[in-house]
């Protein structure tokens, strides 16, 4: 059993480009929706600005919402990476126990024994790895500097809730893999985010409030992920035999690439804007 067994050999570079463009267009529409909501919220407020200050305020609010949305995608990808790792490891282990896989090396047998005996500890390690991946993505590769660490933590918590909803749906439609252990880990992490040893009632209320404020971002991500995953399966880019969770994960990889491109274009625009502003002063 190799990694290629979980990929679609017919998903060629041309088809990847097509799906990438579809994903980029879908994210672009999502950002337009966010911009429209930002304008409506700004007009509904009682604040009064000069034309310049209003433009700056609107742009700041738009960037803040976009970065929350990007963090949601990044965190969702990281959490899904853990889910997919569990599915693949569990599937391969089941094949080994059923005798389908033969002629294994000593190293492979040792790895299977470790998985059978210490699955819980390995899953905790995988969660830690997914958290590290998340930090690298939103700090180095796609640096989101507009939102605070607390806001990032809220979006990461919502990403776990987002994945729980996905897994519940996959169980409902009859996906062959069993996601209950993964969901229990996520539930535990979410409860730990709300209730910790030195938490007060005020801390709990603030965490709950922040979650509800950002719920529209999670719903938008659910709609975007669901729509793109449906397109991927409908066009035959993803295979049902590889489990639906794999298709959802591939969708998030494409979404991640697209937001990297969008963020890079935005940073180049900001650098150009600052450069032109300095020239005007001179």
> How does the average pLDDT of the chain come out, rounded?
82
Q: What is the pLDDT of residue 66?
A: 94
Give the Cα-Cα-Cα angle 7, 253, 173 (nearest 5 degrees). Answer: 65
Mean per-residue pLDDT for 54-79?
90
* Residue ranges covered by each domain of the chain: 3-46+64-281
Mean per-residue pLDDT for 234-262?
91
pLDDT at 235 over 50: yes
Q: What is the pLDDT of residue 192?
A: 67
In the chain, alpha helices (H): 13-44, 51-97, 106-136, 149-172, 180-194, 201-213, 215-234, 244-281
Q: Minimum mean pLDDT among 22-26, 136-140, 220-224, 250-254: which range? A: 136-140
What burial class does residue 177 get, using C-beta atoms within 10 Å of its C-beta: 0-12 exposed, 13-18 middle, 19+ buried? buried
Tokens of 70: 């990007």
Q: pLDDT by residue (tens digit) across 79-110?
A: 898 888 887 777 777 777 776 666 667 776 77
Q: Assign 178 a pLDDT band (cuts: 50, 70, 90).
A: low
Cα–Cα distance measured from residue 155 to residue 162, given in angstroms and rounded to the nearest whole number: 10
Tokens of 238: 């993803």
Q: What is the pLDDT of residue 69?
A: 95
Cα–Cα distance measured from residue 119 to residue 138, given in angstroms and rounded to the nearest whole number: 29
Q: What is the pLDDT of residue 210?
A: 85
Q: What is the pLDDT of residue 106?
A: 73
Q: What is the pLDDT of residue 200?
A: 62
Q: What is the pLDDT of residue 57?
A: 81
Higher local confidence (pLDDT), 282 or 65: 65
Q: What is the pLDDT of residue 1?
A: 46
Q: What is the pTM of this model?
A: 0.87
Q: What is the pLDDT of residue 282?
A: 47
Cα–Cα distance measured from residue 179 to residue 170, given in angstroms and rounded to the nearest whole number: 9
Tokens of 151: 């806001």
Of the spans 44-58, 132-146, 178-192, which averages the highest pLDDT?
A: 132-146
By C-alpha distance, which of 153, 132, 140 is closest to 68?
Answer: 153
pLDDT at 43 over 50: yes
Q: pLDDT by residue (tens digit) across 185-196?
A: 777 777 766 665
């Amino acid at each position: 059993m190799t990694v290629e067994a979980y990929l679609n050999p017919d998903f060629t570079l041309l088809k990847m480009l097509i799906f990438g463009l579809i994903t980029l267009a879908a994210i672009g529409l999502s950002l337009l929706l966010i911009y429209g909501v930002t304008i409506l919220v700004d007009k509904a407020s009682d604040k009064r600005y000069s034309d310049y200050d209003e433009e700056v305020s609107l742009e700041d609010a738009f960037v803040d919402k976009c970065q929350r949305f990007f963090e949601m995608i990044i965190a969702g990808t990281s959490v899904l990476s853990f889910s997919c790792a569990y599915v693949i490891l569990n599937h391969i282990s089941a094949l080994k126990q059923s005798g389908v896989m033969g002629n294994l090396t000593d190293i492979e047998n040792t790895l299977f024994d470790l998985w059978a005996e210490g699955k819980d500890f390995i899953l905790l390690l995988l969660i830690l790895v997914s958290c590290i991946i998340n930090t690298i993505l939103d700090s180095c590769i796609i640096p989101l500097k507009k939102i605070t660490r607390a806001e990032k933590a809220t979006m990461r918590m919502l990403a776990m809730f987002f994945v729980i909803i996905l897994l519940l749906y996959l169980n409902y439609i009859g996906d062959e893999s069993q996601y209950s252990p993964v969901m229990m880990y996520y539930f535990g992490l979410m409860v730990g985010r709300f209730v910790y040893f030195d938490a007060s009632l005020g801390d709990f209320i603030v965490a709950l409030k922040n979650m509800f404020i950002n719920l529209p971002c999670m719903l938008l991500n659910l709609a975007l992920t669901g729509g793109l995953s449906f397109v991927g399966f409908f066009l035959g880019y993803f295979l049902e035999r590889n489990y639906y969770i794999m298709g959802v994960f591939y969708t998030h990889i494409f979404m991640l690439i697209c937001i990297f491109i969008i963020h890079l274009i935005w940073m180049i625009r900001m650098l150009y804007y600052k450069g032109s502003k300095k020239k005007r002063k001179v």
